[in-house]
Amino acid sequence: VTSLLKERDGAGVERVRGAMVRDNESGEEWAVRARGVVNATGPFADAVLQMDEPGMAEIVAPSSGVHLVLPSYFSPKNMGMLDPATTDGRVVFFLPWEGGVVAGTTDTQCSVEADPKPSEKEIEWILAEIRRFLSPDVKIRRGDVLAAWSGIRPLVRDPRAANTKDLVRNHMIHVSDSGLLTIAGGKWTTYREMAKETVDRAVAEFGLRPLRDCQTEHVRLIGSHAWSDTMFIKLVQNFGVDLEVARHLAHNYGDRAWAVCALADRTAQLQALGRRIHPLYPFLDAEVRYAVQYEYALSAVDVIARRLRLAFLDAQAAREALPRVIDIMADELRWPA
């Protein structure tokens, strides 16, 4: 979004009626007009709010949360730990995840950026906290960290509250004088509630006439419709993939795993169906093709980090897998040699 489009309504009041947007791949820009605009941009909410009201005080208080991935032997397979009483009061957790152990997290004030990175200080803090829970004969070192990443929590202040310094711990909906509807804050675990409240508010603010009430309680997640906890067995029987790969596909794709496997079958690559992009992890060549054809992946980072998540599990393995990923994407997207 590069700017907001405004028009005056029948009463002469200026209202937000769309946005100018830019395609970052091609550089093309165009106008999108609408009856109303919802600003659901997470930590970037202030940038859009200030397109509407340039002098508006910032409402987002961004906080950095760093996570580490360690080898699986540091934690029991089916048991995790959370400690709310760390040395400085922050919460630390230690959980089995995707064949490894994920540990976190920090809660540090930060600036908003598109690609946040963890600092060595934050990584060392997490390692120091974890050491308190391990047996004395188990040494955890910086070199044991397979991957580290940082995310931004968009904690928010209510601009209409008496004390605008107080943070809203849950989500907040704000409608500006020109009708820009902003949803900010919240958590991954409450995304459906946030969406319902936002759409209900948009219906009221923009004079919309929905055909029925919110259906989110009855909408299943993509991949869940034909999934079962024994589905991985059918993948082994039908496609001959090994057990670890079958469990991975069923767990991460649900019933879309059939499409991943069928894609390799359809391109006469049944042998490649069992070929991993890295020998230590159950990610297949076919998943790269699926990411390009069905999940809009356009770059190697899209695939290795945002679709397969190998970069979040093991940075070195991701680097080693990159040449194969690039070769497959070049074939799919017709990249020049």
pLDDT digits (tens, 9 = 90+) for 62-76: 988 999 999 999 988
pLDDT at 270 over 60: no
Tokens 């024994």 -> residue: 230
B/e letters for 139-154, b = 16+ CB within 10 Å, e = fewer, are ebeeeebbbbbbebbb
Backbone dihedral angles phi then psi of residue 173, each to the nearest 5 degrees: -110, 130
Sign of the CA dihedral with 223 first, then 199, 158, and 54 last: positive
Residue with tokens 């919460």: 91
Between 85 and 208, name the one with better pLDDT: 208
Residue, of 245 and 264, whose pLDDT is higher: 245
Q: Summarize pLDDT for 97-124 with one digit per residue, the tens.
A: 999 999 988 888 889 998 999 999 999 9
* Rounded distance between C-alpha atoms, residue 48 and residue 27, angstroms: 19
Does 48 score more than 60 pLDDT?
A: yes
The per-residue pLDDT for range 201-220, each reduced to its tens digit, is: 999 999 999 999 999 999 99
Which residue(s) pair with 153 in the sheet? 63
Q: What percent of the chain has pLDDT over 90?
A: 69
Question: Would you state the structure tokens that stand for residue 206, as one six-digit string?
Answer: 């923009």
Tokens of 241: 């993939």
Instruction: Give the residues across from 228 on adjacent strands.
Output: none
Residue, of 81 and 315, whose pLDDT is higher: 315
- CA pair distance 144, 58, nearest whole angstrom: 39
Say if residues 124 and 142 touch (Cβ distance below 8 Å).
Answer: yes
How far is it, in rounded angstroms, from Cα 15 to Cα 4? 10
Predicted pLDDT at 235: 93
Length of the chain: 337
pLDDT in tens, 147-181: 999 999 888 987 766 564 567 778 999 999 999 99
Instruction: Tell me the pLDDT tens digit for each residue of 174-199.
Output: 999 999 999 999 988 999 999 999 99
SS3 sequence of the chain: CCEEEEEECCCCCEEEEEEEEECCCCCCEEEEECCCCEECCHHHHHHHHHHHCCCCCCCEEEEEEEEEEECHHHCCCCCCEEECCCCCCCCEEEEEECCEEEEECCCEECCCCCCCCCCHHHHHHHHHHHHCCCCCCCCCCHHHCCEEEEEEEEEEECCCCCCCCCEECCEEEEECCCCCEEEEECCHHHHHHHHHHHHHHHHHHHCCCCCCCCCHHHCCCCCCCCCCCCHHHHHHHHHCCCHHHHHHHHHHHHHHHHHHHHHHHHCCCHHHHCCECCCCCCCEHHHHHHHHHHCCCCCHHHHHHHHCCHHHHCHHHHHHHHHHHHHHHHHHHCCCC
Amino acid at 105: T
